[in-house]
């Protein structure tokens, strides 16, 4: 089973979230003064120029924001685009698709291009939100595309039919290079984001009997070309025991885990000392390949009682694969064929499903069957060209369509603003209610949609550095801003690896910032919103900042209700601060220091140290006290 090890900002709203968030926000509003944001904390979160608040690509005044999670061929009907808000009179030749500031080729199918109809559609090849070949883009589950109209740039697929291949394709194979990765577990490591995304296939420790299944197949293996598969395993050394050498040592086996008596092939052993990534290369003879076999980690007999833990990230597989689509709905192949051929050359993919087409985004070409439906001939310009074959049954639907108007970020915060409210647009209704409440208190609120920030400054992708850069600009150019409120939940588990059994899994509304701290037990760091308002010192805020970590509308309205109740009934009667600490002495010392520091600012400052044995009773007593007002 998956273990829920990922730290959460707010997984599900509870009365603890309400009390702590409200207490912190109002405490911050009353106790921290504004400091001029002049000296940058770090080079990567500097104050942007006015030009950097605008896209460096052709984002039109209106556009459709598209989100998708998986690679594949996507089709969007104009009836859905019109329903999302696209004007019906859009000029067909001005429609363009963008991703990360680059034009993406699209195919537009229209009966009458001069007048787009609801049954017309666009198609394109979508990709997962990758940060690198082995890490997903941090804090983003979806890839973001922008469909624009009225601009001057566009890119369309050319449709081609090639009849005769240059290379005999009857028994052709190509070198399959598969990157196999599953994000089943989140586990913090001491490696920086970008080097790792902290999501792993499975974990293994010395003496443990098993792991989350590692099943890999080698479809259409061509034994005429090679007698083995090349495997590269990416392993992260997690434990770090002083004096233990080697620090990590395990072996790998390949075989059937359903039958314990079934023989397994020994893939060899590996060992290394550092706490970081290690690549282990080995080979698997073709004669041992079976369907749905499993890779198994084993502990050497002399290591059964040592502390040795690793995390398995991914495996890269290289083998010759027959160029046979097998009537699949989705089939990806490349031009690195197992035969001598000098580019450009033409070859064919065989055994295709009726109605299939081959898309090549790098060429901007769609290849169709010529005279027969059994094969499609494509042309390779080099040995690294990738092609994607899709049938009608293999077409995917995008996850979301949203009409957006291009925002002038520089004007979203006026010089009269006192509160900078950055919010998750999924929570717009309660956010506007909260803004109205603050406006009635004579606090001028500038509410900024966090997606507008990301669309203009980071190609639509959530990013903590981008958010902080905008905050720096807003504060530096509007010195009246005294408070910052982040309205929206977030999570470390942006790949949803831990949430398969949750009805409402956590999502990144307003992103977190992770502080790496090796002294932090287990996690090697912690979440810190203070960083967003720290302009001079690293983690000391120069402006009052707090977060309302609402994950959905229900939670958001509940937070607003709690704020109204507090301000209406509680603040004038009993201005009190409650500090709750765990039983460790260092945390008790911190809580006591808070009590001493702020005793002159509150009528009462209470400190609670629930002992482990009586923690439940103490929490219940506290709950009853809060319910009584």
* CATH number where 194 lies: 2.60.120
Q: 538 and 628 in one domain?
A: no
Same domain, 603 and 530: no
Sole residue written with tokens 């080099």: 382
Mapped onto helix, strand or coil, the DSSP state of residue 252 is: strand
Q: Is 519 found in the same domain as 422?
A: yes
In a domain, 368, yes or no: no
Query: What pLDDT digit, counting tens, does each position of 171-212 carry?
Result: 999 999 999 999 888 887 767 666 788 889 999 999 988 788
Asked if residue 376 is part of any domain, the answer here is: no
Specify the pLDDT at position 19.
Answer: 36
- Same domain flag for 47 and 62: no
Q: Please tell me what DSSP assigns to residue 225.
A: T
Task: Identify whether 336 is part of a domain.
Answer: no
Last residue of a domain, one of 260, 287, 322: 322
CA–CA distance, 76 with 97 (Å, rounded to integer):
12
pLDDT value for 500: 57
Three-state DSSP string of 91-145: CHHHCEEEECCEECCEEEECCCCCCCCCCCEEEEEECCCECCCCCECCCCCCEEE
Answer whether residue 152 is part of any domain.
yes
Burial class (CB in 10 A: 0-12, 13-18, 19+), 121: buried
Helix 464-477 crosses helix 450-457 at what angle (to 10 degrees)? 100
Distance CA 331, CA 349 (A): 10
**Is 422 found in the same domain as 492?**
yes
Are the beta carbons of 591 and 618 closer than 8 angstroms?
Answer: no
* Residues 626 and 529 placed together within one structural domain of the fold: no
CA nearest neighbour of 299 among 203, 214, 207, 237: 207
* Tokens of residue 553, six digits: 């509308």
Do 538 and 581 have their domain in common? no
> Burial letters for 497-528: b for 16+ Cβ neighbours within 10 Å, e otherwise?
bbbeeeeeebbbbbbbbbeeeeeeeebbbebb
Q: Which long-range contacts (CB under 8 A, 24 or more apart) does 266-269 make?
A: 267/231, 267/295, 269/300
In a domain, residue 443? The reply is: yes
> Do 507 and 142 touch, CB atoms closer than 8 A?
no
| Token pair listed for 137 | 């883009």
Among 353, 376, 402, the domain-final residue is 402
Q: What is the pLDDT of residue 13?
A: 37
Number of alpha carbons in the 13 Å side-chain half-sphere of residue 505 = 16
Pairing of strands 277-285, 604-608: unpaired
* 544 and 489 housed in the same domain: yes
Question: Residues for the chain: how many in total?
Answer: 629
What is the pLDDT, as a whole number, of residue 132?
A: 77
Domain end position, chosen among 373, 402, 431: 402
Residues 21 and 71 in one domain: no
Residues 313 and 180 in one domain: yes
Q: Within this chain, do residues 487 and 558 fall inside the same structural domain, yes or no?
A: yes
The segments of the chain whose pLDDT lies below 70 read 1-43, 190, 192-194, 257-261, 499-505, 518-524, 570-575, 610-616, 618-619, 623, 626-629
The whole-angstrom separation of Cα 583 and Cα 281 is 47
In terms of phi and psi (left: phi > 0; alpha: psi -120 to 50; beta: otherwise), the region of 242 is: beta
Measured distance CA(13)–CA(503) in Å, rounded: 14
Provide the domain limits for residue 444: 15-51+408-571
Q: ω before 246 within 30° of 0 (cis)?
A: yes
The number of distinct structural domains making up the chain is 4
What pTM was computed for the model? 0.84
Contacts 24+ apart (CB under 8 A), 84-92: 84/401, 84/402, 84/403, 85/403, 86/62, 86/147, 86/149, 86/403, 87/62, 87/149, 88/116, 90/116, 90/149, 90/150, 91/149, 91/150, 92/116
Assigned domain for 522 exists: yes
Tell me what pLDDT residue 176 has.
Answer: 97
For residue 284, is it within any domain? yes
Same domain for 22 and 105? no
Q: Is residue 330 part of a domain?
A: no
């Amino acid at each position: 089973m998956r273990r829920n090890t990922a730290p959460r900002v707010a997984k599900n709203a509870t009365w603890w979230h309400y009390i702590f968030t409200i207490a912190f926000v109002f405490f911050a509003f009353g106790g921290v003064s504004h400091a001029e944001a002049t000296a940058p904390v770090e080079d990567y979160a500097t104050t942007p120029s006015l030009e950097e608040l605008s896209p460096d690509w052709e984002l039109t005044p209106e556009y459709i924001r598209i989100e998708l999670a998986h690679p594949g061929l996507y089709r969007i009907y104009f009836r859905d685009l019109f329903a999302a808000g696209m004007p019906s009179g859009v000029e067909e030749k001005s429609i363009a698709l963008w991703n990360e500031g680059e034009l993406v080729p699209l195919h537009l199918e229209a009966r009458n291009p001069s007048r787009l109809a609801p049954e017309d559609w666009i198609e394109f090849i979508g990709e997962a939100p990758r940060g690198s070949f082995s890490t997903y883009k941090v804090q983003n589950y979806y890839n973001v595309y922008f469909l624009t109209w009225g601009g001057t740039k566009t890119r369309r697929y050319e449709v081609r039919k090639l009849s005769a291949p240059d290379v005999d394709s009857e028994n052709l194979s190509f070198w399959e290079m598969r990157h196999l990765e599953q994000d089943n577990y989140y586990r913090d490591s001491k490696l920086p984001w970008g080097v790792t995304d902290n999501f792993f296939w499975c974990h293994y420790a010395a003496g443990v009997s098993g792991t989350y299944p590692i099943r890999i197949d080698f479809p259409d293996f061509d034994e005429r070309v090679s007698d083995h598969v090349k495997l590269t395993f990416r392993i992260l050394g997690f434990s770090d025991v002083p004096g233990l050498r080697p620090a990590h040592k395990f072996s790998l086996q390949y075989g059937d885990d359903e039958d314990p008596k079934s023989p397994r092939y020994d893939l060899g052993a590996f060992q290394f000392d550092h706490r970081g990534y290690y690549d282990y290369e080995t080979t698997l003879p073709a004669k041992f390949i079976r369907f749905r076999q499993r890779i198994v980690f084993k502990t050497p007999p002399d290591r059964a009682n040592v502390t040795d833990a690793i995390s398995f990230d991914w495996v890269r597989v290289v083998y010759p694969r027959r160029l046979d689509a097998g009537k699949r709905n989705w089939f990806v192949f490349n031009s690195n064929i197992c035969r001598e051929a000098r580019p450009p050359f033409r070859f064919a993919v065989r055994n295709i499903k009726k109605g299939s087409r081959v898309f090549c985004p790098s060429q901007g070409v769609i290849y169709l069957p010529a005279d027969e439906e059994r094969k499609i001939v494509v042309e390779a310009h080099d040995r690294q060209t990738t092609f994607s074959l899709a049938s009608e049954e293999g077409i995917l639907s995008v996850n979301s369509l949203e009409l957006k108007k291009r925002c002038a970020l520089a004007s979203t915060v006026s010089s009269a603003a006192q509160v900078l409210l950055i919010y998750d647009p999924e929570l717009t209704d309660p956010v506007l209610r909260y803004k109205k409440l603050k406006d009635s208190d004579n606090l001028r609120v500038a509410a900024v949609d966090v997606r507008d920030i990301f669309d203009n400054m980071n190609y639509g992708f959530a990013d903590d550095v981008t958010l902080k850069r905008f905050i720096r600009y807003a504060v530096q150019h509007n010195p009246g801003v005294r408070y910052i409120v982040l309205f929206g939940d977030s999570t470390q588990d942006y790949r949803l690896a831990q949430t398969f059994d949750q009805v409402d899994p956590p999502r990144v509304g307003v992103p977190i910032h992770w502080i790496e701290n090796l002294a932090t037990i287990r996690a090697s760091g912690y979440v810190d919103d203070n960083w967003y308002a720290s302009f001079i010192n690293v983690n000391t805020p120069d402006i009052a900042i707090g977060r309302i970590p609402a994950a959905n509308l229900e939670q958001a309205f509940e937070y607003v209700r709690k704020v109204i109740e507090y301000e209406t009934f509680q603040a004038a009667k009993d201005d009190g601060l409650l500090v709750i600490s765990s039983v460790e002495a260092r945390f008790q010392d911190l809580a006591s220091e808070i009590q001493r520091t702020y005793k002159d600012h509150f009528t009462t400052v209470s400190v609670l140290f629930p002992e482990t044995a009586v923690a439940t009773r103490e929490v219940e007593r506290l709950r009853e006290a809060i319910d009584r007002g």
